[in-house]
Chains A and B, each alone.
Chain A
Amino acid sequence: DAGVIQSPRHEVTEMGQEVTLRCKPISGHNSLFWYRQTMMRGLELLIYFNNNVPIDDSGMPEDRFSAKMPNASFSTLKIQPSEPRDSAVYFCASSLRDGGPQHFGDGTRLSIL
């Protein structure tokens, strides 16, 4: 029973480069969430989708961040241009329905030099 799959697991890149994080939710789940985790700010919700439609993106830090969900089995979070302060662990989660348990992937550890 496959869980939420994220790629890559680790990404190291230089400031100014474009970064794309990928997520495959659990099959049949209709809600998808992107989180960022840092020591200073803990787990922050960036954006969530319901039935592939962005519902709340108020947590997206700024215009350099964008997220898409072209179909029910794939989502991307893109940072362009990247900055050192974007370094964090980014998690994707999915749930069967609104207000249901969220299932997390193992995250992408992003380091911007």
Chain B
Amino acid sequence: GENVEQHPSTLSVQEGDSAVIKCTYSDSASNYFPWYKQELGKGPQLIIDIRSNVGEKKDQRIAVTLNKTAKHFSLHITETQPEDSAVYFCAADNYGQNFVFGPGTRLSVLP
């Protein structure tokens, strides 16, 4: 089955700096890679996703890159703000047949 690893487990950055979170997956059949943000007491919320036919996707301060050959994908947050502080999860999926989350990264943006 699919296995998703995520690094780092915790990340602290200064406000305004960039943050990068990296994930690797094991199942080459995976073709959908979403990223979720979870705030305290809330469920995970989708912030960006990418499919295997695309190498990069950007939405304002957030971007995701995918390297299918190496089976890894990354989340990039630029110009970080205190409200970006949360736990971020990556996930990998194969048409809903094998949806697996990474273990999460706790991001702290220091003012």
B103 touches A103 (CB 8 A): no
B44 touches A99 (CB 8 A): no
Q: How would residues 80 to 107 of chain A score, 1 for a CB under 8 Å from any chain B CB and 0 otherwise?
A: 0000000000010101011111111111
| A106 in complex: contacting residue of B34, B41, B102, B104, CB < 8 Å | B41
A42 touches B46 (CB 8 A): no
How far apart sit A33 and B97, CA to CA, in the bound complex (Å)?
A: 12
A99 touches B94 (CB 8 A): yes
How far apart sit A93 and B104, CA to CA, in the bound complex (Å)?
A: 18
- Number of B residues near A (Cβ < 8 Å) is 23
- Which chain A residues border B89 with CB–CB below 8 Å? 43
B46 touches A103 (CB 8 A): yes
| B101 in complex: contacting residue of A4, A42, A106, CB < 8 Å | A42
Shortest C-beta distance, A81 to chain B (Å), equals 27
- Which chain A residues border B61 with CB–CB below 8 Å? none
- Number of A residues near B (Cβ < 8 Å) is 23
- Which chain B residues border A107 with CB–CB below 8 Å? 42-43
A104 touches B45 (CB 8 A): yes
How far apart sit A104 and B100, CA to CA, in the bound complex (Å)?
A: 15
Nearest B residue to A43, CB-CB: B101
- The reply on A77 being an interface residue by CB < 8 A is no
How far apart sit A103 and B43, CA to CA, in the bound complex (Å)?
A: 9
- Which chain A residues border B100 with CB–CB below 8 Å? 45
A91 touches B32 (CB 8 A): no
- Which of the listed residues A33, A50, A104 has the most CB atoms from chain B within 10 Å of its own CB? A104
Binding site for A on B (CB under 8 A): 31-32, 34, 36, 41-46, 49, 89, 93-97, 99-104
